[in-house]
Chains A and B, each alone.
Chain A
């Protein structure tokens, strides 16, 4: 059974610092890995989707890497801003259309 873990559960950084968010998964037989952002009281917004054949994806200040052999994905957010404060979740898609979510990392960027 796939298990997805995000450590730490919460993170606080000063504005301008780069953010590094970790995601680990136990079963490397995945189709893709997605990163989401969730604001309080809202649904999830897709940030990046990395196919199993890819090593990384980039969108603006966001960069996500994928290392299937080690069961890890990392989301980098450059030059963090207070508006980046949110909960970030990763999810791994495996056989049987099963998308397994991590518990999320709650990020606070202090002005």
Chain B
């Protein structure tokens, strides 16, 4: 099983550009999440989804958008990139909320200059 796959692995954006971070999982998990991790900090939740067609904001949603048209895919869209969005982005999934562990992708390292 591939688990959770994220693309691209690295990306450099100029201020004001837009991009989509891709995330797909092959475990048929209902729950999917986007986190960002800044140096020396814990992970902050950006958006999450409890199933296809359902998304909700996390702790730090400003500047981001998501969609969940299928169970497998949960892309994260950055509009008008800003230096504050320089971070490592992780996608994760879980079978349910309370009883199952999170499975993470390997991350996308984004630099905005």
Decide: B45 and A43 in contact? CB cutoff 8 A. Answer: no
In the complex, whether B74 has a CB less than 8 A from a CB of chain A is: no
**Please, how many angstroms separate the alpha-carbon atoms of A51 and B101 in the complex?**
11
Tell me, rounded to whole Å, the shortest Cβ–Cβ distance linking B87 to chain A.
14
**Please, how many angstroms separate the alpha-carbon atoms of A4 and B59 in the complex?**
15
> B-contacting residues of A (Cβ < 8 Å)?
4, 9, 31-32, 34, 36, 41-46, 49, 51, 89, 91, 93, 97-104
Decide: B99 and A51 in contact? CB cutoff 8 A. Answer: yes
Q: A103 — which chain B residues lie within 8 A by C-beta? A: 40-42
> A-contacting residues of B (Cβ < 8 Å)?
4, 31, 33, 35, 40-45, 48, 50, 56, 58-59, 90, 92, 97-107
Known contacts A49-B101, A97-B48, A97-B50: A89-B42 contact under CB 8 Å: yes
Q: A42 — which chain B residues lie within 8 A by C-beta? A: 106-107
Decide: A46 and B45 in contact? CB cutoff 8 A. Answer: no
Tell me, rounded to whole Å, the shortest Cβ–Cβ distance linking B62 to chain A.
17
Decide: A101 and B42 in contact? CB cutoff 8 A. Answer: yes
The chain A residue sitting closest to B98, CB to CB, is A31
